[in-house]
Amino acid sequence: MTTSSIRFEITDRVGTITLNRPEVMNAFGGTMREDLLASLAKAAADPTVRCVIITGSGSAFSAGGDIANMRELQSNNDATPITARMEIGARVVHLIRDMPKPVIAAVNGAAAGAGMNLALACDLRYASSSAKFAASFVKIGLVPDWAGHYLLTRVVGTARAMELMMLGERIDAQEAWRLGIVNRVLPAENFQETARELARQFAHGPAAALAAIKRGVYLGAAGTLDEVIAYETIAQRAMFLSDDAREGMRAFMEKRAPRFAD
């Protein structure tokens, strides 16, 4: 699936969604939000896709909203489209969270505003050493959306999220790593290739176990101890007699790499 603003391709079990408006730093404009949602839905439904990467074309991940377009809406005194756009953003965040597959943000450059929050919505974030992050809504008199208040606060804590959002200052990849915003910082040279190799490791893992771990981690972040223990009991019973568990234990005993089911 390819549109003017989004590219979607599948290679070696990895579905790569590329934000594709490099002339405006992949800012969200036109039907880009809808196209992103459609690509994510396609990746979620396709059994040949075992891991998803979201990245940007050109030198940026995403600069967030298209400010020129927002200025047009202001000149018309029309805030009606904002509600619809926020609803689509919310659906994107929910779909990433609910998808039973790892979703990786490969942040190749600047990630600001909604671009940063899209990255935060993903399960894992790998950043190029040249990446920059900014919760920059306040710089134009707006508040974070795409669940930014929820996502950033859970990653960095209340006080740091407050400062990042209230000042809107840009931070580099190393500071993002120090704060726990990104999992790893990778060299800018060969960044996309390295990120895809990491994605392939997930894509060739035991799909059902990875889906259960994803659900369990999010439950662990928001649920009670008893809820997590109950979930683990159900999930472990479901996994124990699976083909992947049998193969994993057999491979361990035979001192070889496991070959999990396609």
187 shares its domain with 59: yes
Domain edge (last residue) among 203, 218, 239: 203
Quote the pLDDT of residue 77. Answer: 86
96 shares its domain with 222: no
Quote the pLDDT of residue 259. Answer: 94
Looking at the domain assignment, is residue 193 inside a domain? yes
181 shares its domain with 226: no
Give the pTM.
Answer: 0.94
57 shares its domain with 33: yes
169 shares its domain with 58: yes
Alpha helices in 76-224 (DSSP H): 80-98, 114-121, 148-156, 158-167, 173-179, 191-203, 207-222
Q: What is the pLDDT of the chain when averaged over all its residues?
A: 95
Distance CA 201, CA 218 (A): 21
161 shares its domain with 216: no
Asked if residue 244 has pLDDT above 90, the reply is: yes
Range(s) of the domain holding residue 242: 207-253
Looking at the domain assignment, is residue 40 inside a domain? yes
114 shares its domain with 229: no
Looking at the domain assignment, is residue 99 inside a domain? yes
Q: Can you tell me the mean pLDDT for 226-243?
A: 97
117 shares its domain with 237: no
DSSP 136: G
Name the residue with tokens 């124990």. Answer: 240
48 shares its domain with 143: yes
State both tokens at 188.
């800018």
Looking at the domain assignment, is residue 124 inside a domain? yes
Looking at the domain assignment, is residue 1 inside a domain? no
Looking at the domain assignment, is residue 259 inside a domain? no
Least confident among 72-86, 202-216, 218-232: 72-86
**3 state SS of 31:** coil
Quote the pLDDT of residue 74. Answer: 85
Asked if residue 2 has pLDDT above 80, the reply is: no
98 shares its domain with 211: no
189 shares its domain with 212: no
State both tokens at 169.
């200052």
- Residue 191 vs residues 131, 181, 198: alpha-carbon distances, Å: 11, 18, 11
State both tokens at 29.
């404009």
Looking at the domain assignment, is residue 261 inside a domain? no
Looking at the domain assignment, is residue 183 inside a domain? yes
- The predicted-structure confidence for 47-105, as pLDDT tens digits, reads as follows 999 999 999 999 999 999 888 888 888 888 888 888 899 999 999 999 999 999 999 99
Quote the pLDDT of residue 253. Answer: 96
State both tokens at 211.
């889906």
Asked if residue 1 has pLDDT above 70, the reply is: no
Quote the pLDDT of residue 66. Answer: 86
CATH code at position 65:
3.90.226.10
- The predicted-structure confidence for 153-193, as pLDDT tens digits, reads as follows 999 999 999 999 999 999 999 999 999 999 999 999 999 99
Structural domain count of the chain:
2
State both tokens at 17.
């969604």
Burial label, 71 (beta-carbon count in 10 A; 0-12, 13-18, 19+):
exposed
142 shares its domain with 242: no
Quote the pLDDT of residue 116. Answer: 98
